[in-house]
Amino acid sequence: MRSMFDRIAPVYDAMNTLMTGGLDERWRRAAIAAARLGPGMRVLDVACGTGKLARAAAAAVGPRGAVVGLDLSAEMLRQAAGEATPAGVATPSYLLGDALALPFDSGSTGDGFDAVTIGFGLRNLPDHRAGLHEMRRVLVPGARLVVLEIAEPRTGLPRLLYLTWFRRAVPLLGRLLQRGNAYRYLSESLRAYPAPARVAELMNEVGLTDVRWRWLPSGMATLHVGRVPIAESVSTGDEAA
Ligand SMILES: C[S@@+](CC[C@H](N)C(=O)[O-])C[C@H]1O[C@@H](n2cnc3c(N)ncnc32)[C@H](O)[C@@H]1O
């Protein structure tokens, strides 16, 4: 996984724009809005890649806030660190790490994050439920987890476009760019990603509350949001593991 993402890091942003027709930017803006970020908040962006979502979060929390972008791929983080942040916006700090073993204390101690975001990252984790559990663990009570992901539409024109694009055109583009394995993998990881309603169930199972989800414009991406209950007596989902 790490070496595959290291290899695509230099072309990742351009390929994303091409693959989604630029919609990825709009989807990221929706994710930031759903996180309800405000000045001074502490945010963790998991599987941050080249840092687009982390930088958008940094703009939303302002100079008194703090954003950490964490990723498994050193090359992705190198690309992220090379990107400029606009004047007056704090630069996110980038950290090499595994989403399944976040190097932070539990948020229930009060010293965690006010929001965790993950964009196009959850489907890459070998255990989606364990990843959600780990992200929930580092959130403070009342905080939000936002999951942005490409998802397979069930019906209609979006489904036809999705199948043509992600199953046929994207692997071909990858081959043209001599990164065939990575973009074939993308197609396969999308196939293995659970349906949106199941992702919502998993979020409930790990102890999040008020879980909601919706399709984003184009019908090829979903946004899930859940909150950590304020009352600490609520289940953390460990019992159901
Ligand atoms: C499709 S990219 C998404 C990047 C970014 N979030 C965005 O919005 O464009 C997926 C990222 O997940 C990272 N990744 C995969 N498995 C991971 C893991 N176990 N822990 C942390 N990052 C991981 C990859 O290195 C890659 O940068």
What's the pLDDT at 160?
Answer: 80
Return the percent helix, strand and coil in the chain, to nearest 5: 45, 20, 35
> How far, in Å, is the centroid of ligand 1 from the Cα of 205?
23
- Report pLDDT for 192: 83
Residue found under tokens 């999951």: 147
- Average pLDDT along the chain, 241 residues, taken 10 residues at a time: 85 80 90 97 97 96 95 96 82 97 91 96 95 98 96 81 76 69 71 92 98 90 96 50 35
Cβ neighbours for 65, distance < 8 A, ≥ 6 positions apart: 37, 39, 40, 41, 42, 43, 58, 90
Q: Residue 215 and residue 164: Cα distance in Å, rounded?
A: 19
The rounded Å distance from CA 1 to ligand 1 centre is: 9
The protein residue whose alpha carbon is closest to atom 17 in ligand 1 is 72
Task: Classify 226 as helix, strand or coil.
Answer: strand
Helices (H), 97-149: 128-137
Which residues contact ligand 1 via a Cβ below 6 A? 1, 5, 16, 47-49, 52-53, 71-73, 76, 98-100, 119-121, 124-125
User: How far, in Å, from the CA of 85 to the mean position of ligand 1?
Assistant: 20
Show me where the domains of the chain are located. 2-240
C-alpha count within 13 angstroms, C-beta hemisphere, residue 227? 11
**124 CA from centroid of ligand 1 (Å):** 7
Residue to probe by mutation, ligand 1, list 4, 5, 28, 55, most atoms within 8 Å of CB: 5
CA distance 134 to 154: 29
Query: pTM here?
Result: 0.90
The tokens for 176 are: 């043209």
Which of 7, 24, 48 for a ligand 1 pocket mutation test, highest count of atoms within 8 Å of Cβ? 48
Nearest-CA residue for atom 15 of ligand 1: 124
Homologous superfamily (CATH) of 2-240 is Vaccinia Virus protein VP39 (3.40.50.150)
Instruction: Return the structure tokens found at 136.
Output: 């929930």
Please tell me the predicted confidence (pLDDT) of residue 38. Answer: 95
Pocket test for ligand 1, best of 68, 71, 190 (most atoms within 8 A of CB): 71
pLDDT of the residue at 179: 63
DSSP notation for 179-223: -HHHHHHHHHHHHHSPPHHHHHHHHHHTT-EEEEEEEPTTSSEEE
Tokens 């490409």: give the residue. Answer: 150
Name the nearest CA neighbour of 132 among 197, 64, 201, 32: 201
Which tokens is 178 given?
Answer: 């001599």
Please tell me the distance from the alpha carbon of residue 165 to that of residue 168, in angstroms, as a whole number: 6
Q: Whose CA is nearest to atom 1 of ligand 1?
A: 120
| Atom 10 of ligand 1, nearest CA residue | 121
